[in-house]
Structures are given as structure tokens and as C-alpha cells.
Structure 1
Amino acid sequence: MEPILDVRDLKVSFRVRGGEVQAVRGVSFQVNKGEAVAIVGESGSGKSVTAQTIMRLIPSPPSVIKDGSIRFMGEELLTKSEKEMQRIRGKHIGMIFQDPMTSLNPTMTVGRQITEGLIKHQNMSSQSANRRAVEMLKLVGIPNPEDRVRQYPHEFSGGMRQRAMIAIALACNPAMLIADEPTTALDVTIQAQIMQLMKDLQKNLGTSIVLITHDLGVVADMCDRVIVMYAGKVVETGTIREIFKHPKHPYTQGLLRSLPRIDQRKDEPLIPIYGTPPDLIKPPAGCAFTDRCEHAMHVCVLHDYELFRESDTQLVRCWLMHPLAKEAAR
């Protein structure tokens, strides 16, 4: 079965005064129809740049797509014009942005922001689009949707604004939804509600979801696979069970150690990942995680390792997976 999204060897840089920031350095992954995939990693790992490049939303200049391919439903997105991308955004790919207060238009009612895409992509009349807007607000759990469609974003709470963003993204029944840190500005209770809402929508509508987050904890109950990024590269990918139960890359292990657990004792401290990510204007020749890795070897400084296939579904970019390293460990 052909994947709905196929990203191959994507390289994106930003030209700045000090040089060229290599934000995305050869990222490859696939998303199947109806699948939920999480892309996780620290701030600056290239998650959001990857998502915005898929949508063709990064400004150029200063950004430059150096190489790669992004195929969506069999069509190459990187060769499409802005007019062609406008037909795809909203209709075939929806996106939930990180901060709904800055993403929603403060001068337009929430209802009008939902109907805008319906009228443009679905050729609906204003009356039909308004009815659909009410249905969408009801679908995402906003009370009194008939009244709320006439209100402005500042009249909504933070959780309701995020729900409104989801309603806008899903109004045209897109085949894929990209959610970029959708719960960052929300409290824990609202976070759980938003994640459950997205899970229900995926189940009921069959929408493929790409969830961008820095928190592995929010993806455990929702996603099928996890892609771990560090310094612009994919360092590990696998199923939820493989990543949470059998993480192989030291960075993935570090992310999991830094998460609080229900069974954790009060006197048991969390273990942080010490150090900082590398400067991507001059990225290291070898593994970018070397300076922060407790298992680093001399070869890690000189050369980066290719993705090693641990299983049919788990890939790891680490010299510890090399047959000689495994033999030495034994």
C-alpha cells in the first residue's frame, strides 16, 4: 500500500548573517492512511520546520529547500506553485498551529474563519457553510455552537481556541492533519481533552495525523509510531511499544528518563539530559549527540552512523547498533 505521505532525504536550511543554519538534514519518513505518527524531540530539533515545509509555509528567503522529496497522495509537493498549494492546504491537508491566539484572525468571527475554507474548497453557499461551521464546533465539543460561531477569538478560552483551530483544520475533511505542538499553551486537564478529541476524530473520520511535540508523554495513548529527531536528523523511529519499552538510541533513552512516572518515588529525582544541542551553522561531522552521550566512542566524533534496522519497524542511528559494538558489549 502506498503511503499517504512520503518524505525522503529532506534538507532545509536558513541563510542568516552568521552563515547557513542546517535546520533539517536528510529527514525521511512515511505516514500511512489512517495512521497517527508522532515526531518528537527538543526545541530546535527540526520538527516544526519539517511540518511547515510539508505545508510549504516556510518563507523563502531566508529558508532554502536544499534537497529531498515530499510526496502526498502520490503527488510531489516541492514542485507545486503557491496557487496549487492553496488548493491542497485545508482541503487535503489541515494544520493545527502551536499558539491558537496568534494563529486565529482577531478581526474575524470564529464562524467566518471556518466557513472561509468551506466556501473556497467545497463551493458551499454561505448558508450551508454556516450550518457546517456550527456542526464542526459541536463536533469538537464547544458548547452553544450556534452562539459561538458569531464570537471572536478573544471571547474564547485557551482550550476553546484550540478546539476552534481543530474545527477549522477539519472542516473540509482533509486526508491528513498536522498538529504542531497543539497542547503547549494549555493546562494538563485541557491537554488530555484535546488529545482525546484528536484520537476520537482520527477513529471516526479515518484521518491520518502527524503530531509534532517535545513531550513523549502525550503520544503514548494516541499514536501508532514515533519518530525521534535530534539536531535536524531522525535518530530513531519505531512503534509506540518499541520506543517506550525498548528504546535503543541514548537520546531516546534520555528523553524517557526525564519524564515523570506514576510509579516513581518522591525521593527519586528525574534525570535530565545534560548539555545543549550543537550549533547547526557548523554541525559536527559525526553524531550530533556525541557531546551529551554517556556511551560516546571515538568513531562517534568522526562519522555519523546510518539508520540501522533493529526490526521491521524500528530504525536507529547509533554506532552502538554496529555489529562490532554489540560484540564488544557482549
Structure 2
Amino acid sequence: MEPILDVQDLQVSFRVRGGEVQAVRGVSFQVGKGEAVAIVGESGCGKSVTAQTIMRLIPSPPSIIKGGEVRFLGQDLLKKSEKEMQRIRGKDIGMIFQDPMTSLNPTMTIGRQIAEGLIKHQNMSAKAADSRAVEMLQLVGIPNPESRIKQYPHEFSGGMRQRAMIAIALACNPALLIADEPTTALDVTIQAQILRLMKDLQKNLGTSIILITHDLGVVADMCDKVIVMYAGKVVEAGTKWEIFKNPQHPYTRGLLRSVPRLDQRKDEPLIPIFGTPPDLIKPPAGCGFCARCDDAMRICAERDPGTTTISDSHQVRCWLTHPLAKEVAQ
């Protein structure tokens, strides 16, 4: 089955005073219909830039899309004009941003912000759009939706604002939903409610989801596939079970060791990943994780390892998994 989204060799840079920051360096992945795919990694690894490039929301300048393809339903979004993208955003692809307070318009009521997309993309009348806005607030679990649509963002709590963002993103029944850290700064109870809501919507509406997050617990609960990014590249990709049960890249193993587990002994310390990510104005010639890796070899600093296929669904970018690695070890 053809994927709903197919990103191939995406390269995005930013021109700054000190040079050119190579934020995304050849990222490739696919999202199937009704599938939930997580993109994980440290801050600055290129997760959000990748997502915003798919939506064509990064300003140019300073950004430059150096190459690659972003095929959505068979169409390359990188070749679309801004006018064509405006017809796609909200209608075919929805996005939940990290901070709803800065993403919602403080001068417009919540109902009007939901109705705006319906009037533009589905040619609804104002009355029909208002009725749909009430339905959407009800769908995302906001009580008294008839009165809530008349309120402004500052009158909503943090969790309710995030629910309102989800309602706006899903109002036109998009085929793809991009959620950029949707549970950041929310308490644990509200986080669980938001994630349960997204899972229900995925199941009931068949929506494909890209979830950008730091929280591996959220990934384990919600996603089908996991993409691990580091220094602007995908270092490992596989199903949820392959990544959690059989991680192959030292960075992936480091991420998993640095978070608490229910089966962990109380006296067993968490193991942090020491060091800092490389400078992407002058990225390393070899593996980006080399300077922080306990298993690094000389070749890791000199040459990029390329992608090794572990299984049909599991790929890793590491010299330790290279076909020649076993011969060297012997």
C-alpha cells in the first residue's frame, strides 16, 4: 500500500551570521494510512524543522530547502506554491503546535478560530460552521461547548487550550495530523487525557499521526513506528517493539537508559548521555554521535556509516551494525 506521506532525502539549512546551519541532513521516512509515527531525539536534532518543512511553515530566508522530496498523497509539497499550500494546510494536513497560548489568536473567540477553517476549506455557512465548532469541542471533551465557543483563549486552562488546538486541527478531518510535543508543560493527568483523545481520534477517524516528543513513555503507549533523530539525521528507525526491545544504535540505547522504568530497582541510577550534540555549522565528517559514544572506533570519526537494514522495518545508521563489523571483530 502506498504511504500517505513519503519523505525522501530532505535537506534543510539556515543561513546565519556564522555560516550555514545544516539542521536537517538527508532525512527519509514514510507514514502509512492510519499509522502513528513518533520522531524522537534531543532538542536541536531537527525534529520540529522536519515537521514544519512538511507544512512549509519555515520562513525563507533564513531557511533553505537544499534538496529532497515530501510526497503527500503522491504530490511533492516542496514544489507547491504558497497559495496551493494554504489549501492543503488545515484541510488535508492539520498541526498541533507545542504552545497553544502562542498559537491561538488571543483576539478571536475559540469558536471563530475553529469555524474559520471550515468556512475557508469546506465552504460552510457561518451558522453551519458554528454548529460544527460546537461538535468539535464536544468531541475533544470540553464541557458546555455551546458557551465555550464564545470564550477567548485566556479564559481556557492549559489543557483546554490544547484540546481547542486539537479541535481546530481536526475540524476539516485531515488525512494527516502533525503533533509537535502536544503534552509539553501539561500535568500528568491532562497529558493522559490528551493522548487518550488522540488515540481515539486515530481509531475512529483513521487519521495518520506524526508525533514529535521527548517522552519515550508517550511513544511506547501511542505509536506504531519510531524514528530516532540525532544531529539532523535519522540514526535508527523501526517498529515500536524493535526500538524498545532491540535498539541497535548507541544513541537509542542511551535514550532508553536515561529514562526511569517501572521494572527498575530503586537503587539503580539513571545513566545520562554525557557531552553535547555537534555544531551543525560544521557537522562532523563521520557519525554525529561519535564524540559521545563509548563504542566509537576510528572509522566513526572519519566516514559516515550509511544505513544498515536489520529487517524490513528496522534500519540503523551505525558502523557497529555494518556488514563488515563482524569480520573486523573476528
State the TM-score, normalizing by the size of structure 1: 0.99
Q: Does 1:311 align with 2:322?
A: no
How far, CA to CA, are the matches of 2:21 and 2:201 in structure 1? 37
RMSD between superposed Cα atoms in Å? 0.8
How far, CA to CA, are the matches of 1:70 and 1:52 in structure 2? 12
- The answer to which of 316-325 and 89-98 deviates more is 316-325
Structure 1 gap segments, 5+ residues each: none
1:218 alignment counterpart: 218
2:191 alignment counterpart: 191
1:215 deviates by 1.8
How far, CA to CA, are the matches of 1:51 and 1:189 in structure 2? 27
Secondary structure of 2:132's aligned partner: helix
How far, CA to CA, are the matches of 1:85 and 1:30 in structure 2? 20
1:322 deviates by 1.4
Aligned residues: 330
1:326 deviates by 2.6
Q: Match of 2:130, as an amino acid? A: N
Deviations 1:219-250 (A, max 9, x none): 11111100000000000000000000000000
Q: Does 1:52 align with 2:45?
A: no
How far, CA to CA, are the matches of 2:172 and 2:71 in structure 1? 21
Q: Match of 1:243, as an amino acid? A: I
2:39 alignment counterpart: 39
Q: Match of 1:7, as an amino acid? A: V
1:251 alignment counterpart: 251
1:78 deviates by 0.6
Deviations 1:236-283 (A, max 9, x none): 000000000000000000000011111222221111000000000000
How far, CA to CA, are the matches of 1:275 and 1:190 in structure 2? 33
Q: Does 1:207 align with 2:195?
A: no
Secondary structure of 2:220's aligned partner: coil
Q: Match of 2:228, as an amino acid? A: V
User: Against the structure 1 CA distance between its residues 285 and 168, is the aligned structure 2 distance closer, same or farther, given a 3 Å change threshold?
Assistant: same
1:76 alignment counterpart: 76
Secondary structure of 1:276's aligned partner: coil
Secondary structure of 2:79's aligned partner: coil
How far, CA to CA, are the matches of 2:329 and 2:204 in structure 1? 47
How far, CA to CA, are the matches of 2:298 and 2:207 in structure 1? 45
After TM superposition, the structure 1 = structure 2 runs for residues 131-150 of structure 1, keeping only pairs within 5 Å, are: 131-150=131-150
1:327 deviates by 3.9
How far, CA to CA, are the matches of 2:291 and 2:187 in structure 1? 34
Deviations 1:10-39 (A, max 9, x none): 000000000000000000011011111000
Q: Match of 1:227, as an amino acid? A: I
Q: Which runs of 4+ in 1 moved over 4 A?
A: none
Q: Match of 1:229, as an amino acid? A: M
1:93 alignment counterpart: 93
1:239 alignment counterpart: 239
How far, CA to CA, are the matches of 2:218 and 2:48 in structure 1? 17
1:329 deviates by 4.5
1:187 deviates by 1.2
Deviations 1:89-140 (A, max 9, x none): 0000000000000000000000000000000000000110000000000000
1:189 deviates by 1.4
1:141 deviates by 0.5
Q: Does 1:176 align with 2:207?
A: no
1:328 deviates by 4.5
How far, CA to CA, are the matches of 2:107 and 2:131 in structure 1? 21
1:294 alignment counterpart: 294
1:151 alignment counterpart: 151
2:261 alignment counterpart: 261
State the TM-score, normalizing by the size of structure 2: 0.99
Deviations 1:287-327 (A, max 9, x none): 00000001000000000111100001000000001123234
How far, CA to CA, are the matches of 1:295 and 1:192 in structure 2? 37
How far, CA to CA, are the matches of 2:188 and 2:167 in structure 1? 21
